[in-house]
Amino acid sequence: MTENEGSHPGIPVDRAAAPPELAAADELLALCAESRSEPSAQPAVAALALAVGANLPVLLWGQPGIGKTAVLNQVGAGLGVTVETVVASVHEPSDFSGLPVLGPNPGRDGVPMAPPDWAVRLARAGHGLLFFDELSSAPPAVQAALLRVVLERRVGSLALPAPIRIVAAANPAASAADGWHLSAPLANRFVHLDWVHDPRVVARGIGGTWPSAVVPRIDPEATASAVARARGSVAGFLSARPGLVHLLPGDAEERGRAWPSPRTWEMVMRLLAFGFAGRAEHETLALAVAGAVGPAAGIEFLTFLAESDLPDPDLVLADPAAFALPDRGDRQLAFLTAVVAAVRAEPTRSRWDAAWRVLEKAVDIGAPDIAAQAALDLAVLRNGTDWPAPPALDAFVEVLRLSGRLTPR
């Protein structure tokens, strides 16, 4: 009797050869399982890969048996990481919150909450893909225990490493085994993607070629400007539509899907940054954004994004005279927020001076109030008295003095 490394630790198995009939059957099964993969052209697969790259929890909604689990294994293979699958519906709340373990002196040291084995394996690996399956079959008590795992990445007393990605799958309540609506707090922690099967993809897969999900390759030189554009876009939109900052649906089923909140708008900012830096397709970004804040808010935001057409803030800082401010106030705010964010990412004297010349244009067109907050944020980035105050600062002297951020020249 020997111990099989692939089995549960400590369980001996017999390595005796299988009967000839079963060996032949196993060989046939291996041939049936052989396949190759090719990059997927499906927008939902690309949106999944984008969200995984941005390290945002993703929830795949779809009917049973349409390949949600298979595509997650493809993502893990593409990243070169292990996929740790946890069927949420068969676990107790303590499996996620941890089980108390008494030490020699609990009155002094407290009582630590021991994590389960799957969490320990992920923590030791330092990276991986944590897959919660059958999430909509998990009762409310289990969903509550999952809140901290999904948002804070803590399982009992164990903190999961930041590189670990979290993905879940769920069936609609009508087709789930003992299905439940997701609680609003848990739903608001995910990017929701509807998963449907494509008959042509299934036919090609049965023929031996399945699609694979490829995480977008990030251009390192584009990251700073991508983040600046993303910040400006979301800030400009929310300034024009403050009612969409937080909008909890009244219907229980809708609360269990994507809806706008400060948390999910932060998700949108990260999705945009990764999309811009990875040159994602428009349809991919659209699905991911709608999956974070819901279809209605997502469509409205994407329309704003298309109409505002923010330029690359690094190009603006390189030649401020070549760019004019947009006409509308919300687009002006988005434009200026992106410029200041770009300076924050790379704070040099020349870029700081160039940003003040951009703000001066807002004064020239009679909109100093739009630029006031940008001026406050830009003033904070000044490197002491080494950077003389630019002439454009005069237009904002009063607002900077009232804020206490005005320093002597």
Alpha carbon 202 to its chain's center = 28
392-403 residue pLDDT tens: 777 777 666 655
Q: Do 133 and 195 form a contact (C-beta atoms < 8 A)?
A: no
Q: Angle, nearest 10°, between helix axes 329-345 and 368-380?
A: 10
Q: pLDDT-derived band of residue 298, with 50, 70 and 90 as boundaries? A: very high
Q: Write the DSSP symbol of residue 141.
A: H
| Residue 4 counted as domain residue | no
Structure tokens given for 250: 């009244």
| Residue 354 counted as domain residue | yes
What pLDDT, on the 0 to 100 scale, is given for residue 173? 64
In 3D, which of 381, 330, 329, 338 has the Cα closest to residue 358?
338
User: What's the mean pLDDT in 109-116?
Assistant: 77
Give the domain-ending residue among 308, 341, 362.
308
Q: Do residues 70 and 188 share a domain?
A: yes
What pLDDT, on the 0 to 100 scale, is given for residue 303? 93
| Ramachandran region, residue 27 (left: φ > 0; alpha: ψ -120 to 50; beta: rest) | alpha
Q: How many domains does the chain have?
A: 3
What pLDDT, on the 0 to 100 scale, is given for residue 1? 41
User: What's the mean pLDDT in 344-365?
Assistant: 87
221-262 residue pLDDT tens: 888 889 999 999 999 899 889 999 999 998 888 999 999 999
Q: Do residues 80 and 91 share a domain?
A: yes
305-345 residue pLDDT tens: 988 888 889 999 999 888 888 888 888 888 888 999 999 88
Q: Calculate what percentage of the chain has a pLDDT beyond 70.
A: 88
| Ramachandran region, residue 65 (left: φ > 0; alpha: ψ -120 to 50; beta: rest) | left
2-23 residue pLDDT tens: 444 445 555 665 656 668 778 8
Range of the domain at 368: 310-409
Q: Do residues 53 and 190 share a domain?
A: yes
Give the domain-ending residue among 277, 308, 339.
308
Is the pLDDT at 47 greater than 50? The verdict is: yes
Q: pLDDT-derived band of residue 176, with 50, 70 and 90 as boundaries? A: low
Question: If residue 315 lies in a helix (H) or strand (E), which one and from where to where?
Answer: helix 313-318
User: What's the mean pLDDT in 117-146?
Assistant: 90
| Residue 122 counted as domain residue | yes
Q: Do residues 194 and 260 share a domain?
A: no
Highest mean pLDDT: which range of 88-102, 104-118, 266-280: 266-280
Residue 122 half-sphere exposure toward CB, CA atoms < 13 A = 26
| Residue 11 counted as domain residue | no
Q: Do residues 314 and 288 share a domain?
A: no
Q: Do residues 144 and 185 share a domain?
A: yes
**Residue 60 three-state SS:** strand
| Residue 242 counted as domain residue | yes
Q: Do residues 192 and 117 share a domain?
A: yes
| Residue 357 counted as domain residue | yes
Is the pLDDT at 175 greater than 60? The verdict is: no
Q: Calculate what percentage of the chain has a pLDDT beyond 90.
A: 33
User: Cβ neighbours of residue 19 under 8 Å, at least 6 residues apart?
Assistant: none
- 91 or 112, which is more confident: 91
**Whole-angstrom distance, CA of residue 232 vs CA of residue 313:** 10
Q: Do residues 155 and 69 share a domain?
A: yes
| Residue 233 counted as domain residue | yes
Is the pLDDT at 203 greater than 70? The verdict is: yes
Is the pLDDT at 293 greater than 50? The verdict is: yes
**Whole-angstrom distance, CA of residue 305 vs CA of residue 246:** 19
357-391 residue pLDDT tens: 888 888 777 776 777 888 888 888 887 767 887 77
Residue 204 half-sphere exposure toward CB, CA atoms < 13 A = 13
C-alpha distances out from residue 370 to 245, 301, 322, 326, Å? 19, 20, 20, 12
In 3D, which of 153, 166, 168 has the Cα closest to residue 54?
166
What pLDDT, on the 0 to 100 scale, is given for residue 400? 62
Q: What is the CATH number of the domain that holds 96?
A: 3.40.50.300
Per DSSP, helices labelled H in 81-220 are 94-97, 106-109, 117-125, 140-152, 184-187, 199-206
User: What's the mean pLDDT in 187-191?
Assistant: 95
- 296 or 207, which is more confident: 296
- 212 or 58, which is more confident: 58
Is the pLDDT at 125 greater than 50? The verdict is: yes
Q: Which amino acid is at 261?
A: S
Q: Do residues 171 and 58 share a domain?
A: yes
Q: Which residues pair with 99 in a beta bridge?
A: 114
**Whole-angstrom distance, CA of residue 131 vs CA of residue 145:** 16
Q: How many CB atoms lie within 10 A of CB 5?
A: 6
What pLDDT, on the 0 to 100 scale, is given for residue 184? 93
**Residue 130 three-state SS:** strand
Q: Do residues 382 and 298 share a domain?
A: no
Q: What are phi and psi of 126, to 5 degrees?
A: 85, -10
Question: If residue 27 lies in a helix (H) or strand (E), which one and from where to where?
Answer: helix 20-33
**Whole-angstrom distance, CA of residue 56 vs CA of residue 59:** 10
Give the domain-ending residue among 169, 198, 227.
198
- Altogether, the residues listed in the chain come to a count of 409
What pLDDT, on the 0 to 100 scale, is given for residue 106? 66
Instruction: Report the b/e string of 107-144 with b at 16+ CB within 10 A.
Output: eeeeebbbbbeebeebbeeeebbbbbbbbbbbeeebbb
Q: Do residues 127 and 170 share a domain?
A: yes
Q: Do residues 166 and 228 share a domain?
A: no
Residue 226 half-sphere exposure toward CB, CA atoms < 13 A = 19
Q: Do 86 and 130 form a contact (C-beta atoms < 8 A)?
A: yes
| Residue 14 counted as domain residue | no
Q: Taking every pair of C-alpha atoms in the chain, what is the biggest distance, in angstroms?
A: 89
